[in-house]
A and B are shown apart, each in its own frame.
Chain A
């Protein structure tokens, strides 16, 4: 069912296109690239000598998700990412469900990575300034009411506030922050990998560890490690979140997205192989908090300075990951508001800086609340990380279904990039639909992971659905209040909007392709109408 929106059109201020090709890449890298710093030790501890295989399997599912996002973000270069694709493909309700799931992911992203960055900062500080092991200070109000590691919490809150200010100032400033720090991270990580393979890697060590694990293979442990490996790839949709602010998005996004997919995959596989070829898996189990820094200290020539520098590196990349979470959450709610899934209150753009300042403050505020709440649990990062994968995997399932649906319902929109392995199906109007086989494989793969996350993550399986139900309650209230259908969709002139998007993005070649496809369709429909008596 579709209905016309009863609300008059509001005056809107468009987001400005400030994100360059490197900036677009870095928005994604900031989110995904940071995960290896926390997941490397966890995956090796769980999968032992077969950690590289676990990373490779996780990476293959991640590649499927990444390719689906690449196709959709290039075809529909607007803010919103997964929720917008779901709304286009499946309607308002599913667009909202996907949006709320991803929103949980981004809000946790802000909290989790701000805390993790604060942890690395304090570790770096203790190595450089105090030359002593970091001491955690707790505040005891009562036996059951303890604020753990308050210094780290305060630093994390300070970081979030700084990032809020940065994002309100505008994408150019915020993107520049990502671009510089991200470049330093990529160069340093590459140096670690190359020096490690050149001077410290022993293939006989990795082989013996693999064979040893294989001899005592434990499926549960391996599956658990693989699920952690998948969590390490969460966040690649940030590129599509910034699509409406990216210059020439339909041309740039396929490149930045594909580069991101393979860069992160190469890093993950390289780090896991290097780690197991340099030291035993047990030694990484003992360094769960700083696996990359530990690995760096094992490399000859650079090991002496690599320890503190790796801590600095972790701090920076985790900070830009938190920044990416703020950006994605604010852009997502901005888009949901514009599409009447959320109140227009979220729709407001700052007059001076032209950034969605209100949503930036609102969801960063929620992030701050999460940090404060998790400070009352002994393992702050564990508590936050527990909810991290739920939202992402739920959102990804809906996005995969939308990808398949849009191939049928909107074959006219030009796709500068198409997910490979397609089955052509010629329909009676003469146009061939490309059925995405990889989309079906992706739905199955991500659904299994979703199931596994719900099964193994104690806090996530409660907090995740609770968040979605809370959001749905708001949706029911808001849509009912403004007289819009709950399960139906607001009627949109998607063709006109697509033309406007491509025009504003200056993607003139795609614009002409789109107009041409619509002309052909209209011509065919006219002929069919004439032929009908």
Chain B
């Protein structure tokens, strides 16, 4: 049979490309991700079930951090983040009374929180509620909105004074129908986040 020896740079290039593409695709095929155990998969996917996350805010710096935490938790499954501010109205006042200053503060707090959510390209929902008691208002809002996770941030200054969770947090922990995360950061870390404290 007639054989002709022929070297051509393009032929050499094609041979190299052929070798590299075949080797890489076979290598990729032979290295699948590790298998997940049933319990691990269940734990991993339970986070994906968090489609609506509520985070409460009072407009404090540690509240903003809790909002950021909620966003990170909801990032993969594109959860809706509901930022809730409860205006506590004392029993001595009518519930529907106009409270301009408090409402302005609430509006500012939820707007700032919603802006954090928007940075993560997640759907944000601003929610301002009135109630006689913060815990009751939060629980009612969580139930009405059918949230999957509730994130509460607690004032690190209060815990520094050994007033651990406070009655609002305790009631929410005992009565909530959904998963609850209490976000507590030490005062020292709070100072690092925001020098003005």
Contact = CB atoms under 8 A, between A and B. Distances in A.
A512 B40 CA distance: 10
Given A197-B12, A512-B45, A519-B49, A506 B5 contact: no
Given A252-B32, A255-B28, A506-B35, A198 B3 contact: no
A61 B183 CA distance: 55
B28 A259 contact: yes
A177 B4 CA distance: 37
Contacts of B99: none
Interface stretch (A295-303, A329-337, A352-360, A446-454): A295-303
A201 B1 contact: no
B51 interface: yes
Interface in A478-523: 506, 508-509, 511-513, 515-516, 519-520
A259 to B, nearest CB: 4
Given A201-B11, A506-B35, A509-B36, A266 B22 contact: yes
Q: How large is the interface on A (under 10, 10 to 19, 20 to 34, 35 or more residues)?
A: 35 or more
Nearest to A267: B22
Interface string A249-271: 00110011011001100100010
Majority-rule SS of A interface residues? helix
A448 to B, nearest CB: 29
A199 B32 contact: no
Contact of B29 (A203, A259, A297, A506): A259
Interface residues of B, number: 38
A194 interface: yes
A387 interface: no
Contacts of A150: none
B30 interface: yes
B162 interface: no
Contacts of B18: 190, 193-194, 197, 266, 270
A499 to B, nearest CB: 13
Given A509-B44, A512-B42, A520-B51, A251 B8 contact: no
Interface of A: 21-22, 25, 190, 193-194, 197-203, 248, 251-252, 255-256, 258-259, 262-263, 266, 270, 273, 277, 297-300, 303, 307, 506, 508-509, 511-513, 515-516, 519-520, 527
24 contacts: A21-B29, A21-B30, A193-B18, A194-B18, A197-B18, A198-B11, A198-B12, A198-B15, A202-B8, A203-B11, A248-B32, A255-B32, A259-B26, A259-B28, A262-B25, A263-B22, A266-B22, A277-B11, A300-B5, A303-B3, A508-B36, A509-B44, A516-B45, A520-B49
